[in-house]
Amino acid sequence: MNNRDGLTPPILVRILNQLEGHTGHAVEQLPHVYRGRCPLHPEDGPMLLVRGLSGGGVVIDCAAGCSARVVAESLGLEFRDLFLLEKLL
Ligand SMILES: [Zn+2]
C-alpha cells in the first residue's frame, strides 16, 4: 500500500494508511478521490473523502461535518504539518 497509484504523495499515503489502521476498513480509490470511513464514526459507512492536490495539499472532507483538523488529529497526524483544506472545491 505504499505505492497506490505511483503518483500519490507521501503525506497522502500516510493519511490513507492511518485511516485504514484506525477504522479497520479499506480505503476505496475512485477516479479522483479516495473514499473511506471517518475515524470518528466509522460505523456510519464510507463518508470521508480524501484527495491530494497538485500543489501538495490534502483535502479531508467528512460528509457528517467533522473538520479536517479533528479528523487529522484523531489519526495522530499533526495538523500544522499538513496543508489541509476543509472541503472539496
Ligand atoms: Zn466524520
CA of 5 relative to ligand 1 center, distance in Å: 25
Q: Please, what is the average pLDDT of the chain?
A: 83
CA of 44 relative to ligand 1 center, distance in Å: 9
CB 44 within 8 A of CB 59: no
CA of 4 relative to ligand 1 center, distance in Å: 24
At residue 79, the pLDDT reads: 66
Which residue range forms the structural domain that includes residue 53?
A: 10-85
Of the pLDDT bands very low, low, confident and very high (cuts 50, 70, 90), residue 2 is very low
Would you say residue 71 lies in a domain?
Answer: yes
Would you say residue 3 lies in a domain?
Answer: no
Q: Which three cell numbers stand for residue 40?
A: 470518528
Of the pLDDT bands very low, low, confident and very high (cuts 50, 70, 90), residue 4 is low
Would you say residue 4 lies in a domain?
Answer: no
Q: How many domains does the chain have?
A: 1
pLDDT in tens, 23-60: 999 999 999 899 999 999 999 999 999 998 777 778 89
At residue 25, the pLDDT reads: 97
Q: Which three cell numbers stand for residue 65?
A: 461535518
